[in-house]
Amino acid sequence: MNPSNQSPNHTAEDESQAVVTRRIQRLSLHLMAPSAQNYDLCAVIWLYERKAQGDTRESVEYFNSRPDLQTPVEILKDDHRELCWRQLLGLVREAGIKPFKYVAEDPAQYFAIAEAVGSVDMSLGIKMGVQYSLWGGSVINLGTKKHRDKYYDGIDNLDYPGCFAMTELHHGSNVQGLQTVATFDPIKDEFIINTPNDGAIKWWIGNAAVHGKFATVFAKLMLPTHDSKGYSDMGVHAFIVPIRDMKTHQTLPGIEIHDCGHKVGLNGVDNGALRFCSVRIPRDNLLNRFGDVSRDGKYTSSLPTINKRFAATLGELVGGRVGLAYSSVGVLKIAATIAIRYSLLRQQFGPPRKPEVSILDYQSQQHKLMPMLASTYAFHFATANLVEKYSEMKKTHDEQLVGDVHALSAGLKSYVTSYTAKSLSVCREACGGHGYAAVNRFGSLRNDHDIFQTFEGDNTVLLQQVAGDLLKQYKEKFQGGPLTVTWNYLRESMNAYLSQPNPVTARWEGEEHLRDPKFQLDAFRYRTSRLLQSVAVRLRKHSKTLGSFGAWNRCLNHLLTLAESHIESVILAKFIEAVQNCPDPSSRAALKLVCDLYALNRIWNDIGTYRNVDYVAPNKAKAIHKLTEYLSFQVRNIAGELIDAFDLPDYVTRAPIARQSDAYAYYTQIVGF
């Protein structure tokens, strides 16, 4: 067409669309920086491939080109397990993807692959994680060169499918309470693995029911002594135990395996239960990085106590929590994309004699979805930073960084997965009846993700770890000791936070002030500091009469609130940093809008706390509420661009109601019209 023949309106629309497209591309680029732009995303070409700049995508997918490997909406448990195994085999042996390489050499790339694989089928993502991050990770992180030399290739190419056998029927979070025993027999130079009672049966063990041939078994190491006790308990250690014959796949003598059965979700993963009866393994099968046993039964370790060895062992397994936090954000991106894209498409009611309006134009729908979208962006930057810290920790083994990653991963895994779980139900409801259709995925996403809240550490337990670390840092602060990086604000300005609120600033209600990142971050940190100081006083008071355990339990809800408040402060700090580092003015303005909504919505949700201590006067509280609603409206105007920046094509979201074009037509075809 001759440009001179185009209508002015058409030209204006084209220019407007071009502006939108450029902003989406710039947002996508910033979402990949600084961590994600370094990912070798060619490793996930079966899902989608991005160039180094992150602004293009090639349709070179593996699973998308293999309909026989795509998980149907309706599938039986046993069929799902076999399909999941074939998916993993195809990924590794046919597509040539090598996740184990990244576990060992570049964790950031591994987490990117895990997120992408989880988008294909969350069961596949978890099964891959069991094989490479848990079973494989335990071998390379808890073992030594002899274990890597013997097992690496078999784990890598799936000749050695394995399990991670930590959890028992009676003990999950309390790993030090595990009852499985590994007794050393110096005569035969072997360990004898035993399940002493039903409570010690290994339970919920991924890959155990059908496919696993090996298991990393966590058990108490018992060494013979010459005193009246007969044996000395050296604490929980990890052992490689073959569970099935390599050729026949039959269960080996002394091992009993049962299927844990149908689950709420993730039924492509074959969880099983293991019982051991005098199972003998060579002494070399002890994963001996932190503790070893000699031929004559002597124990040696570079770490002096059981507690230090235990902490070092669990510290090497923190990658699982990092991966779950990161993958949970991926699930939230998919759910938010489906719900928001549908809400932009769906029209219901409207002014008299006027066209119906998009349901996202309703304030109630904005209230449900816009703060959630803001949280998704906030979590993206926070977990990307966590992955970056974890990768650096694996390279440097810096002691301060290890402590920081341990606490941060516990907090973010707990906070993000709990938020995502709640949000999946909100998204389902926001899409009305069509959200209830299995083909639109909210049901499977919700069921598959639900376990994220309790495996790799129960969220309530993890938040207590965060609270415990905060109290330790609080004590260090007043004794002049070092603080880890994430806790620096306790040293820098806690005294200011604990002073009486300024009655003048407590009444400021101007938009410029409320959208000032300093005000927002100060408000978050003030709340955390008050909670920390007050719970420390309460614990000191109650410990005099109840003891330390009783005092902790008496203050438990207070401690959990403290931990969540701290994690919210960390998330906001990283979001503000990302906004400030965004090089493109247009994208920076969009991100600032989203960041302000995240911060002010959180403040409003806990406005009672701020009012109780007069940090916020009534007029200011009202202004915060009013501005939060206005920001939700403003974010709604760019919501389409914001979800498009996640760069999730239709074959990733896989929900008819979320298709970028012809959604209703495709939906009716799915049903059979």
> What does pLDDT average to in each consecutive run of 10 residues of the chain (673 residues)?
45 59 64 40 28 28 84 96 96 90 90 88 95 96 96 98 96 88 97 97 97 97 86 94 97 98 97 98 97 94 86 83 95 97 94 93 97 98 95 87 91 98 98 96 97 92 94 72 54 61 78 95 92 91 94 96 96 96 89 97 95 91 97 96 91 92 89 87
Q: Give the largest Cα separation in the chain, rounded.
A: 101
The alpha helices in 121-228, defined as continuous H runs, are 122-128, 137-142, 145-156
Reported pTM? 0.89
- Domain 41-155, architecture per CATH: Orthogonal Bundle (1.10)
547 is in an annotated binding site: no
Provide the CATH number for the domain formed by 161-293 in this structure.
2.40.110.10
Distance CA 665, CA 344 (A): 16
Distance CA 289, CA 292 (A): 7
Distance CA 552, CA 113 (A): 40
573 Cβ neighbours under 8 A, 6+ residues apart: 521
Q: Which of 168, 456, 564, 629 is catalytic?
A: 456
Q: What is the pLDDT of residue 174?
A: 83
Q: What is the pLDDT of residue 104?
A: 86
The three-class DSSP label of residue 171 is coil
Q: Are 204 and 156 in contact (CB under 8 A)?
A: no
Distance CA 64, CA 48 (A): 9
Q: What is the pLDDT of residue 499?
A: 65
HEC letters along 84-138: HHHHHHHHHHHCCCCHHHHHHHCHHHHHHHHHHHHHHCHHHHHHHHHHHHHHHHH
Q: What is the pLDDT of residue 476?
A: 72
The three-class DSSP label of residue 182 is strand
Query: Has 456 been annotated as catalytic?
Result: yes
CA angle 610–611–614, rounded 5-degree value? 90
Q: Are 484 and 403 in contact (CB under 8 A)?
A: yes
Q: What is the pLDDT of residue 29?
A: 63
- Tokens describing residue 530: 């008050």
Please tell me the total number of residues recorded for the chain in this structure: 673
Q: What is the pLDDT of residue 43?
A: 27
Q: What is the pLDDT of residue 2?
A: 43
Phi then psi for residue 245, to 5 deg, are -65, 135
Q: What is the pLDDT of residue 3?
A: 42
How far lies 103's CA from each of 207, 360, 385, in Å?
19, 41, 18
- Tokens describing residue 418: 């709990």
Q: What is the pLDDT of residue 311?
A: 82
- Domain 319-656, architecture per CATH: Up-down Bundle (1.20)
206 is in an annotated binding site: yes
Q: What is the pLDDT of residue 309?
A: 86
Q: Residue ranges per domain, the chain?
A: 41-155, 161-293, 319-656
Q: Are strands 190-194 and 181-185 parallel, antiparallel or unpaired?
A: antiparallel
Phi then psi for residue 287, to 5 deg, are -75, 105
